[in-house]
Amino acid sequence: MRNNRAMSVRPHRIAVLALDHVVGLDLGTPAQVFSTARATDETHYYDVLVCTPGGQPVRSTAGFQVLPDHGLELLDTADTVIVPGIHDGTALTSGTVEPEVAEALRSAYQRGTRIMSICSGAFVLAAAGLLDGRRATTHWAYAEQFRRLHTRVDLDPDVLFIGDDRVLTSAGVAAGIDLCLHVIRLDHGSEVANRAARRCVMPPWRDGGQAQYIEQPVPKATDTSTAGAREWARQRLHEPIALRDLAEQARMSVRTFTRRFRSETGLSPAQWLLQQRTDHARLLLETTDLTVDQIAHRCGFGTTAALRQQLHQRIGVAPSTYRRT
């Protein structure tokens, strides 16, 4: 489906709303990507402009100030509003934004304007109430902070971007490019989006989601009662490990061990063991030249099919795709 609002005589007007501590890359992404979306006669489909509250300069995280040509009144005539990420400010610390910013965003949405965010710009949209009751995403590193501040938003930290034709959010940094290409595809079809992607030296579509980039460090053993059993299991992921084996290592009954294990990790022993096997497989895919079949056996999956199924379930891609990425 294409967005007919973008098919007007004049270029589709995009207002990029920069707030203090704006992320430099996020700020430049819309202008760079949307400027590459052109007709075969090189006519530009989009006009990208930058605004700030009061038209005042704002600081970026990249060591420069932004001197905008427009204030919030730009949102009154915009077809799309994009809020780049920020690295400081009340939107991140307390879940609030200046009243005039919130009102400008809400008014734009009510007029039918498409609203988008890149990375932590989702905090701004949420503070304005535009994400209540919606699925949204942001950079995986901000997920817990976002959930604490915005309990009415259904956060999905695993995807690169998400949304309908009115409100869209993207994950961190480069995912903003994915979102912009997605919007071009919605507005003008795959051919225009593919040409834009080639100009940006980007794949038109990236397999998988943000989950494949989230750091999953192996937790260190502590003095908690099942820690020794967990460490014992990590050294033997290539072997069959039964619940009774783990309980014996902790010198507990199976029932007591299961209860304490869930209390300490938030997972059942079986869920935890599967997570450890998958994380170890990811590490081997990233750092070794072992075949996928060898990795499956070293991680205790037994077969390549079992590894493929679990990896796809957790991060949305096949082993070969994950290794290539």
Least confident of 2-16, 18-32, 150-164, 274-288: 2-16
Question: What whole-number distance in Å separates Cα of residue 59 and Cα of residue 61?
Answer: 7
Examine the domain organization and report whether 185 and 79 are in the same domain: yes
At residue 113, does pLDDT exceed 80?
yes
Examine the domain organization and report whether 57 and 131 are in the same domain: yes
pLDDT score, position 22: 97
At residue 122, does pLDDT exceed 60?
yes
Tokens of 273: 């063991």
Answer yes or no: is 291 within a domain: yes
Answer yes or no: is 196 within a domain: yes
Query: What's the order of all strands across the beta sheet hosting 167-170?
Result: 46-51, 12-17, 80-83, 114-117, 167-170, 161-163
Residue numbers of the domain that contains 267: 226-323
At residue 222, does pLDDT exceed 60?
no
pLDDT tens readout for residues 258-267: 999 988 888 8
Examine the domain organization and report whether 35 and 163 are in the same domain: yes
pLDDT band for position 211 (50/70/90)?
low
Q: How many domains does the chain have?
A: 2
Answer yes or no: is 281 within a domain: yes
At residue 23, does pLDDT exceed 90?
yes
Cα–Cα distance list, 15 to 126, 130, 137 (Å): 18, 17, 21
Answer yes or no: is 1 within a domain: no
Examine the domain organization and report whether 169 and 276 are in the same domain: no
Examine the domain organization and report whether 191 and 237 are in the same domain: no
CATH of residue 76: 3.40.50.880
Q: For residues 108-136, give the mean pLDDT.
A: 97
Answer yes or no: is 4 within a domain: no
Examine the domain organization and report whether 21 and 160 are in the same domain: yes
Examine the domain organization and report whether 184 and 230 are in the same domain: no
Which one is predicted more confidently, 2 or 96?
Answer: 96
Which one is predicted more confidently, 279 or 291?
Answer: 291
Pairing of strands 58-59, 65-66: antiparallel
pLDDT score, position 1: 37
Q: For residues 52-69, give the mean pLDDT.
A: 96
Examine the domain organization and report whether 84 and 193 are in the same domain: yes
